Amino acid sequence: MIEYSYSSPEMQAKIEALLPKITEHRRDLLMKVVQNRTRHFCMVLEDLFDPHNISAVIRTAEVFGLEDVHIIEEVNPYKVNKSILKGSIKWMNLYLYEKRKACMEHLRKKGYRIAVASTNTENSVLDLDLSQPTAFYLGSEFTGNHPDTLAAADCEFKLPQYGITESMNVSVAGGVLMCYLDHFMQQHGRKNFTLPPAERDALLVEWLERHINDDTASSSITRIACE
């Protein structure tokens, strides 16, 4: 059995009541994965219109252990491609916003610094202070991030590149970005960026209940209204 330290006797009892309802393989996998989950970094998708790109970023975020993806649909509605997601959405928490202002307000209240991808800056992602919790904005396929978002951001960044083409496909850019973020966490000890024990246990309970109840996307999506 995977080594696991519970945050409290109450959470231990709650989790251990659920574990017998799943296979040993699934139990070990979920308990291993949840211990590497992080909210230190998160992805923000601003008005992407292509379901392939949205789905690819969500799937890649899950693979790299980022628990939350925030999706602004002020212009383009949230749509996904299930064949691209490959079930990843079941283990993610997605936040949908009808207004970009609500997204930024919510992230700032959570303590995130706002970093926006831009072709108009010389600042590389490698120049950022990644020790701070950071929300990384990826803009729409044709127009990038909205001018209001750029104006309100704490910093802008670009990915290192050495070719003539000005930019990458947005889902590819998201994957490259997450590689850099993962490398940073590995260099500085991933355990320093993982969830606090109580939050980790709560997420494990959520995962177990989703799996046992065969619940899918509906339980992982939260809509945030303007305040």
The tens-digit pLDDT sequence of the chain (227 residues) is 789 999 999 999 999 999 999 999 999 999 999 999 999 999 999 999 999 999 999 999 999 999 999 999 999 999 999 999 998 998 999 999 999 999 999 999 999 999 998 888 888 999 999 999 999 999 888 888 889 999 999 999 999 988 988 778 999 999 999 999 999 999 999 999 999 999 999 999 999 998 888 765 444 788 786 55
CATH code assigned at 92: 3.40.1280.10
The number of C-alpha atoms within 13 Å of 220 and in the hemisphere containing its C-beta is 26
- The binding site for S-adenosyl-L-methionine comprises 159
Residue 183 lies in a domain: yes
Structure-block tokens of residue 36: 């590497």
Residue 70 lies in a domain: yes
Quote the domain boundaries for residue 80: 39-189
Q: 55: how many CB neighbours lie within 10 A of its CB? A: 22
- The binding site comprises 159
Strand pairing report for 113-117 and 68-72? unpaired
Domain count for the chain: 1
Residue 85 lies in a domain: yes
- 75 contacts 168 by C-beta, under 8 angstroms: no
The residue whose two tokens read 């307000």 is 105
pTM metric for this prediction: 0.94
Give how far the C-alpha of residue 125 lies from the chain's centroid of Cα atoms, to the nearest Å: 17
Residue 176 lies in a domain: yes
